[in-house]
Amino acid sequence: MPQTIRLIALDLDGTLLDSEKRIPPENYAALERTHRAGAYIVPATGRYFAAMPAVVRALPFLRYAITINGARVSNADDSEVLYTADLPLSQALALMRWLDTLPVIYDCYMDSTGWMTEEMQRRAPEFTLHADKFFLPMVRNLRTPVPELKAFLAEKGRDIQKVQFFTNDLDVHAEVLRTCAQRFPGTVASASCPNNVEINHADATKGKALLGLCGALGIDPAETMAFGDGLNDISMLRAAGVGVAMGNASDSVKAAADELTLDCDHAGVAAVVSRFFPE
């Protein structure tokens, strides 16, 4: 008899969504059964709320969302915040000054909106070597350009939800992942695709956000299931009662999981959820 599951947390890109950013019908049907059985369905993404694909925001059974890698947990219309963990402005600016010395372009999330220096946004096509076809539309459509990001943020004077950069240099990618927390204590660096690194407050992880949401809802973490494929999903897979890595996940993600399922193009979410919530 499968264990009781009261909440399922789902990464989006490469997990709930297939490689064309669609929800496979098998996934939708399995999650709808889960909802009818009384469990929560919770997207868990590095994106800010309004940047989640419309097909996700329109899910009729969506009640809560973990966004910005766990920097924010909110209700279904993002009007009620249950958990936050932001980078202090001074630390975010220091991070950006360091990134200015590296072969990268970068942006940030503040007030659940993406912001980027307009010249970096213009140069985004130069940073597509390891990116998929959705990279450029994302950078162009989901970032508000400003003349110079650091000056803009200093003028606003508010803390930052996430700093993110893109690079073609895989050595830089690996080096920042390895050393960021040493250079900037209290931060955590992760990645959701081969050409990006996302830097958050150390308390802004999907795993800590999942535990915070469980506390707010009165759910034992052992009664949760989580799915993911990227480095920013590892903490969530470890925090959940059942952590499931997608077939398209990296080896380090698979090593952190309790189970391995099919890839995102073969409805890997449904393959596991259907065992717990059969037709």
Q: What is the pLDDT of residues 227-265, one digit of tens each?
A: 999 999 999 999 999 999 999 999 999 999 999 999 999
pTM of the model: 0.93
Cα gap 18→95, rounded to integer Å: 33
Same structural domain for residues 255 and 271?
yes
Cα gap 124→278, rounded to integer Å: 45
Same structural domain for residues 151 and 13?
no
Angle between helices 89-99 and 149-156 (to 10 degrees): 170
β-strand pairing of 259-260 with 242-245: parallel
Per-residue pLDDT tens digits for 180-210: 999 999 999 998 888 899 999 999 999 999 9
Higher pLDDT, 201 or 131: 201
- Asked if the structure places residue 166 within a domain, the reply is yes
Range of the domain at 265: 7-85+204-276
> What pLDDT is stored for residue 131 in this prediction?
82
Using the 8-state DSSP alphabet, how is residue 44 labeled? B
| CATH code of residue 62 | 3.40.50.1000
Task: Name residues whose C-beta falls within 8 Å of residue 29's C-beta, 6 or more positions apart in sequence.
Answer: 270
Same structural domain for residues 191 and 136?
yes
CA diameter of the chain? 58
- Asked if the structure places residue 1 within a domain, the reply is no
Same structural domain for residues 99 and 234?
no
> What pLDDT is stored for residue 1 in this prediction?
42
- Per-residue pLDDT for 157 more than 50? yes
Do 166 and 131 touch, CB atoms closer than 8 A? yes
- Asked if the structure places residue 2 within a domain, the reply is no
Of 236, 226, 231, the C-alpha closest to 7 is 226
Per-residue pLDDT tens digits for 259-278: 999 999 999 999 999 999 99
Listed in order, strand segments (DSSP E) in the chain are 7-10, 40-43, 64-67, 72-75, 81-84, 105-110, 113-117, 144-146, 162-166, 187-190, 196-201, 224-228, 242-245, 259-260
